[in-house]
Amino acid sequence: MSEPMVADVREGIKDPLVPDWDNIELPKTWADEINFKTWTNVGRLWHSLFKKGNGRIELPDVFPDNLMGKELLPKYLQQEFHGIPNGNFSNNITRGYISAFDGTMLGKMKPVRKEMASWFDSAESVLDIGCAGGQMAAEVKAQGVVDVWGLDPSPYLLKHGAKANPEIKFVQGLAEDLQFSDKRFDGITVSFVFHEMPPKHIDRALSECHRVLDEGGLLAICEPSSIQFKDGWWPMFKGYGFTGFYFKWLAKHVYEPFVPAWHKQDITSLLNRHGFEVLVNRRGMPEHTILARKLTS
């Protein structure tokens, strides 16, 4: 996004404008029109859910002013992640995705978010990148952090997040092009984002994280673990019981084009290369959590 509108400028801090999400009416997409009255709609839904690979999303020609349109959205974001009809771009299905995510993860992400939020108990300002409906940002806010921001490319997810969490500032944007001032935040959280990005975009995003973090600032990352992707069915069952079976099935069922590239990364080397010291690098199942600190100049 170029030349973002500015919310305020104080002591050298320039923040992007926080939209008035309550009064923004987002255009409907085809996924909002799904019903079971015609075979055309049923067939399109069936194809979206069960086809091989990810289809392309259909973006409205025009968005409300100051929101990012399809000409600014990278190609990797213009796909139906997880087979969700029209991906993260619909009014109705995104609401269901937000509420269903924790159930899909068998409730295992709630304690992970609480632990990650506890890492920022002394922070004053934290940015949650790829915030979706704001669950991680809400945990950080509950930790007592005063200034919490959520950033996501989908205005549909942001609108839901802002409604559920009015005390958090939600803005549209890209991880690889953060429209914030240098050294703006004490902490950044990134949950289930990097495995959805091509490696070159991850490098740009980490460079941006380094830029907007203050000296000694913390970067907390949570991504799907490689365990359920790489281990066989029997080791998964032997180690984790039917829960292991479930997450093995989920890893095979949900198409994630950039997951193999993410899991090939040496995380410590990757973060070191971008100016971070790794404090925690814990590969559990189904999550992999990392905590890193920005090295001082």
Q: In whole angstroms, what is the distance from residue 13 CA to residue 11 CA?
A: 6
Summarised one tens digit per residue, pLDDT across range 187-230 is 999 999 999 999 999 999 999 999 999 999 999 999 999 999 99
pLDDT of residue 55: 82
pLDDT tens per residue across span 261-292: 999 999 999 999 999 999 999 999 999 999 99
Q: In this structure, which amino acid lies at residue 180?
A: F
pTM: 0.91
Helix (H, G, I), strand (E, B) or coil at 44: helix
- 84 or 73, higher pLDDT: 73
Query: CA 158 to CA 249: how far, in whole Å?
Result: 30
Strand (E) or helix (H) holding 9: strand 6-10
pLDDT, tens digit, 9 for 90 and up, residues 166-194: 999 999 999 999 999 999 999 999 999 99
* Residue among 289, 293, 290, 263 at smallest CA distance from 275: 293
CATH dotted code for 107-294: 3.40.50.150
Residue 86: pLDDT above 80? Answer: yes
- Rounded to an integer, the average pLDDT of 103-124 is 97
- Domain ranges for the chain, please list them: 32-104, 107-294
Strands 125-129 and 147-152: parallel
For the chain, the farthest-separated pair of C-alpha atoms sits apart, in whole angstroms, at: 62
Higher pLDDT, 28 or 50: 28
Residue 85: band (very low, low, confident or very high) from pLDDT cuts 50, 70, 90: confident
pLDDT category at 5 given cuts 50, 70, 90 is very low
pLDDT-based confidence at residue 238 (cuts at 50, 70, 90): very high
Q: What does the alpha-carbon distance between residue 140 and residue 131 come to, in Å, rounded to a whole number?
A: 12
Q: Going by DSSP bridges, is the β-strand pair 185-191/213-224 parallel, antiparallel, or unpaired?
A: parallel
What average pLDDT does range 117-146 have in this prediction?
97
Locate 216 and state its tokens.
């000694």
